[in-house]
């Protein structure tokens, strides 16, 4: 169930489901010893209204309907920030979505606006003027 998290800190483990749970949530937890130090949550539910028309990349088949998932949260304990854990968590989410043949990930960049904008853009996300994010596959 545990896998090693690919980031700059040794001995971090990640646990994640093999697919979406019946509640349509995907949770990723990062552990250092027995302490959870990071968390990401992805949902296929449209509980919030963050998905907007962020410029989409051209895909091979724009006519095929697909599923988009909402990135609800990525959180890393303050003592472990700026160590690559958040990036590794987001990489896990992106890999999961690719494996599940998801069409796009959307959400909202919350926090240090300029820093988050650069971070998400570095991961391939498009952002609009009010910090909605979207990554299309």
- Residue 68 to residue 99: CA distance in whole angstroms: 13
Global pTM?
0.73
pLDDT score for 53: 45
Domain enclosing residue 20, as ranges: 2-55+64-136
Cβ neighbours of 38 (radius 10 Å): 25
- Residue 129 to residue 76: CA distance in whole angstroms: 25
How confident is residue 71, by pLDDT bands cut at 50, 70 and 90? very high
Sheet holding 126-127, edge to edge: 2-4, 12-15, 25-32, 35-43, 68-76, 104-108, 132-136, 126-127
* Model confidence at 126: pLDDT above 50: yes
Domain count of the fold of the chain: 1
Query: What CATH number did the domain enclosing 20 receive?
Result: 3.40.630.30
């Amino acid at each position: 169930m545990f896998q090693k998290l690919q980031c700059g800190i040794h001995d971090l483990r990640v646990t994640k489901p093999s697919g979406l749970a019946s509640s349509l949530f995907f949770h990723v937890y990062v552990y250092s010893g027995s302490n959870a130090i990071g968390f990401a949550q992805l949902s296929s539910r449209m509980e919030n209204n963050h998905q907007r028309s962020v410029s989409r990349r051209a895909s091979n088949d724009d006519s095929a309907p697909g599923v988009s998932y909402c990135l609800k949260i990525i959180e890393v304990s303050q003592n472990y920030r700026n160590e690559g854990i958040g990036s590794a968590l987001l990489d896990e989410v992106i890999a999961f979505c690719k494996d599940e043949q998801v069409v796009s990930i959307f959400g909202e960049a919350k926090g240090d606006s300029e820093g988050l904008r650069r971070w998400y853009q570095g991961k391939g996300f498009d952002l609009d003027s009010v910090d909605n994010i979207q990554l299309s596959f």
